[in-house]
Structure 1
């Protein structure tokens, strides 16, 4: 729960608090959501230290978030798992580490009688050395409504709370903190509102009768200290979503000794334990590629956040996880990766999803800060749950209630389907598609995204069919299997790819047949095939805008048929023509790797018997877009971008919701992943590894010493362990190209369109 870092006042998105730019540091706060887009979340109760105040007068220090910021010393930021530090131009050095619910900070000062601080335009001024800490009730989004704060002059303890809004959802949540300080005697205390500080009162709240109202925006408490004996002040901040008392209990239980070194060591060991599920032989691999891999794996483990014991909405013996940002993003790569490297955590997340269903009536598609988030596409928690069932995830999951939850998504339209479940279900059941002009009298939500919601609904239903089949519900499995074929209702075989060329002339490629919106009378409606791609109206397709695709183009969504890729290959003209089209997608500027729907198309060449091309494009995007530079993540990484790079570099990629991993050579001579059995490993090895990354095409493979021709593998490899060996070369081979070597494809619509390529074992 505790994730301490510096918060920046960045013109770009600062959703995780810190941005690597030149913007000022506004404070150091204790809870963050990593890498989300849109409005920032959390960042509640930031601390900020002044080394002293002008003329030694606390009134002349800056207090509000708009005034108090200090620039960072260029190049001083340093991060490692469980630790962050940065130097400010006001002479303060800030270090921080965490336990589960508590942040521990160490603020260092130069120790002279007067301190040089750099202000605007590089002007250096001096202030007397007497550190002053500001504790603000604000959050990153400036959404606070109500709450209060109190400072105790004798002990220096500061406690407070506030009511806040979620960043991408509806509702409110409450948060609480408890801060203590060590290292210096207290000189004076007080409170502030906006940029005005006073020594009295010591309490701010919302009680009008008391005369102490707490306005919106910056408001809080301050403490000025005498000179610290060791020029260091340590701050401990416990956080809670239950109460101030719980926040104090968390702090006292987790960090009773204020020992920064011990807490940092414990945090590092905890991270090492999590990351030890994977080992790599990095011989010959550049430091940059190693950084890309390990930082991606690290970021995969940042969210969802474990708030078990801190659920402010209901009492339950089940785990509670929050910060599902959003399952639309995470189902494709992050949750499948957690199923492999941290199955206990993934099982708890599935249990948490089921418990949310039990108490709120629907599975979430997005959830943050105890609030219902906006549903971006389908009800993709269905895929997470089906994926967990298919891959035999255990850990106390109630599969019968899980099935009840996914069927509720498929059959019961909620009143507000913009924040849970699915909309337009009458038409979906009766027509097999969502009409652009649908009249939905059962619920409300944005009527946009009929294509992207439709192809996702189809895949959600297909995954439910696999779940139902596993539970022995044959009739229901057949129903949802047939609905899985509804993607074809969006396929307009006559739609051409028309666009304006760089000279402004109307032109078209020679590709025909795309997903398109439809009207209630069955006719097609036109959306430009490139709309909302990086080369045409990039930012036009969001949650409540008028287009029929979400954060992507019809070009992109025309590839989203994981359940029936053989059928799609056939509709696109067969294997060779499919390869031409997918290659054009990656070379023409239409593809965008900053959104998660772009992940699977990197590897879909497998379905057209060209796994070498999947390897080629994985090695193109890494390191071109995924690298160790400041801009080395192509989009917001709410844990999915890291999962993509980790998967690609380990040599396999999941088809989420199915027991299928598409194989490519790893970026290392050997990758070892801890299997379920004690002391067992799933090992992927390149026998003739090329450090120059030129030999990236599999020539032959062996599984446990036996020739292996499939270009995919099942989850049993990660459950039981074993050794998968590749021989690689610089040119494409015949490996993985025979019809029986291709991944499974399920003909959800009879035999129309033909396979175009061979079948593959459906498992």
Structure 2
């Protein structure tokens, strides 16, 4: 069923007390197609644990977030990820309405949709072809299903504990049901648990508990168990347990029935507590929707205000704010791994995706939650031994390149995050990444070393100062390890650990050991390439990277792209590339259409806006005195590859990383994670105010231009003073608030004639 894109400007359920409803500009289906993989279902609060929505099957197509625009719905589940690639995760604690009596609860019970699904913030609706209307709402740890059954028909609700989202890619990343239990009690409520394993992060067994109540007394209740698609036992028993598929079937008469369900990683008792505390008996669906709208407006949308009235701009602004607050999941009080008074967040999917743009923006918009997340990362190290790069179902797994939690901790440290963060432990966690080799985890995608956490290729890094082809993703890892070590330098320097600071600053320059000045491509010389143990360089075409995936030297990016990745050492890079003028021409070449036939979605440019290695590329002109080019290139990407539609993202959202990139473009800045520097672009709006908390705010204004044609910076004042630099620091505009007043125009102007952006590692060339 193809969903038509319709802007939802009014809500079916809206609190009369709500004075400013920014949620009217949010379409939850934004980014659900075109590989965006956004979850469109119910997320009742930012970072909520429960993400309640449909699970769709459409041939052998992976439904990463559960949703697909076409195909049959085969359940509505309580847990999902959002915007991720790799393989689906979760799709557990499921219900499926079935018309009439159910003869075999393990058969394919999927049903087409009679019309496109509908959604607003906090609300989801599916009209099934069998006549059942399913409406969903929820809270942070519980969900509400409302079933409206067709007149004259009895309907059953099937609860299949074995239900998960499957992957059909053949990569060995599928999820597996291991065992479960299901119990029906005399008062009609049910409790149980399911244990699962696998998925993209190769997780071992993990368990989710559930507790559910129906608003009506069922005519018949039966439990079942069986193997495959056939129930070997299906009767009036009140319990089932074991390794077979199992669950329960509740049959009702016509009318409307609601189902309240709580979940917990701790116990069924905690799941019952969650549902009874958050959705007590008698709670109506409109009240939950209104509560969710109020929560999102208060906690997220109201943090950013603009005088702009262009609908598409407002849709992208508030839709992007919504999309970047889906993950990680706040599971404080729901950690089954260890007892701790620290906050706990899970579903980091993944820091490789989010450290560039998302986490710096979360710090600005959600400083309290951000401090909690930093503390949670450090607590994971305390008990699991390493910081995560990706984590879900309470298990570290899938380090794609470097140990990029180091970058996030460094970014928080240099921007003054203190509070209850134990920075002694934080730095010790970073040192673990930098000095301890994680045990191999037998990942079939990359057998050379661990992909679970830490730095699997660390032995080469320590011995040679570069990474040999013995290790997969060698160049990607080297470039990222250098950035990770720069993060350690930043924190060590702040903690007055001079010897450590000197060591890690030196190691942060080791990316230079991969630079082969003799490699040429498209008339330019010098690229980062793999290097052998004897010091010789591996022959490499800078326009090729094989599959650009787990087994190759370059991950999700060409050698051309990775050769621009030394963000902490840009003066060195500009020099290696031939100086500022050559560096500018080299960047221009990366935006030239038709060069890379493997990138047809973006007209064959080397720059790939759908992958994170290209996120900063359009802003690098600032390091060569051409701020106007940064504006031109970044605005081109924003306006041509982003839009408010269902396919409005240039690639996987990747837990909101795409949306946060666009939000920085709207603000007119780009963050350099691990540094206090923000590169200046050009704002979209005449007026944009960001609430920084504590009575502080950043006001960004512009005159003389517009976001589509007249967007070149003519002049800038920062905090009321003329500004001639193509960058600002954290202390300039964020630490205590501030203002940036732009004058824009239709033609480039050389206004940024002052000091170039800092290059903190660019000594000792």
| Contact 2:146-2:256 within 8 A present in 1 as well | yes
Shift of 1:302: 0.8
Shift of 1:527: 2.9
Shift of 1:697: 0.6
| Contact 2:705-2:745 within 8 A present in 1 as well | no
Partner residue in 1 for 2:17: none
What do residues 511-551 of structure 1 show as CA deviations (whole Å, max 9, x unaligned)?
2211100000000002331224xxxx5xx1323x1x21111
Partner residue in 1 for 2:244: 215
Partner residue in 1 for 2:50: 2
Partner residue in 2 for 1:440: none
- Aligned equivalents of 2:164, 2:582: Cα separation in 1: 52
Partner residue in 1 for 2:125: 85
Shift of 1:88: 1.6
Structure 1 position 541 matched with structure 2 position 557? no
Q: 1:360 to 1:749 in 2, by over 3 A?
A: same
Partner residue in 2 for 1:300: 324
Partner residue in 2 for 1:523: 536
> Mapping of 1:615-654 within 5 angstroms?
615-637=631-653, 638-654=655-671
| Contact 1:188-1:225 within 8 A present in 2 as well | no
| Contact 1:191-1:202 within 8 A present in 2 as well | no
| Contact 2:222-2:237 within 8 A present in 1 as well | no
Q: 1:321 to 1:147 in 2, by over 3 A?
A: same
What do residues 717-763 of structure 1 show as CA deviations (whole Å, max 9, x unaligned)?
12211221000011111122x251x211134452x4xxxxxxxxxxx
Structure 2 gap ranges (5+): 1-48, 167-174, 441-449, 594-604
Partner residue in 2 for 1:265: 290
Q: 1:689 to 1:624 in 2, by over 3 A?
A: same
RMSD of equivalent CA atoms: 1.8
Q: 1:572 to 1:333 in 2, by over 3 A?
A: same
| Contact 1:689-1:728 within 8 A present in 2 as well | yes
> Mapping of 1:578-597 within 5 angstroms?
578-588=583-593, 589-597=605-613
> Mapping of 1:455-466 within 5 angstroms?
455-466=479-490
Partner residue in 2 for 1:512: 525
Partner residue in 1 for 2:237: 201
What do residues 262-303 of structure 1 show as CA deviations (whole Å, max 9, x unaligned)?
111111111112224533324353x22322221111111111
Partner residue in 2 for 1:429: 462
Q: 1:319 to 1:154 in 2, by over 3 A?
A: closer
Partner residue in 2 for 1:565: 570
- Aligned equivalents of 1:326, 1:495: Cα separation in 2: 33
TM-score by length of 1: 0.86
Q: 1:739 to 1:519 in 2, by over 3 A?
A: farther
Shift of 1:467: 1.1
Q: 1:73 aligns with which of 101, 107, 114?
A: 114
Runs of 4+ in 1 over 4 A off after TM superposition: none
What do residues 241-279 of structure 1 show as CA deviations (whole Å, max 9, x unaligned)?
111111111111111133212111111111112224533
What do residues 664-701 of structure 1 show as CA deviations (whole Å, max 9, x unaligned)?
221121111112432x311111123426x211111001
Structure 1 position 346 matched with structure 2 position 394? no
| Contact 2:716-2:743 within 8 A present in 1 as well | yes
| Contact 1:39-1:168 within 8 A present in 2 as well | no
Partner residue in 2 for 1:502: none
Shift of 1:200: 3.4
| Contact 1:106-1:260 within 8 A present in 2 as well | yes
Aligned residue for 2:134, secondary structure, equals strand
- Aligned equivalents of 2:690, 2:477: Cα separation in 1: 35
> Mapping of 1:5-44 within 5 angstroms?
5-10=53-58, 11-19=60-68, 21-44=69-92
Partner residue in 2 for 1:143: 176
Aligned residue for 2:523, secondary structure, equals strand
Moved more, 167-176 or 320-329: 167-176
Aligned residue for 1:673, secondary structure, equals strand
| Contact 2:191-2:268 within 8 A present in 1 as well | no
Partner residue in 1 for 2:725: 710
Structure 1 position 695 matched with structure 2 position 695? no
Shift of 1:188: 3.9
Aligned residue for 1:319, secondary structure, equals coil
> Mapping of 1:234-249 within 5 angstroms?
234-249=258-273
Structure 1 gap ranges (5+): 114-128, 207-213, 438-446, 498-508, 753-763
Aligned residue for 1:46, secondary structure, equals strand
Higher-Rg member (1/2): 1
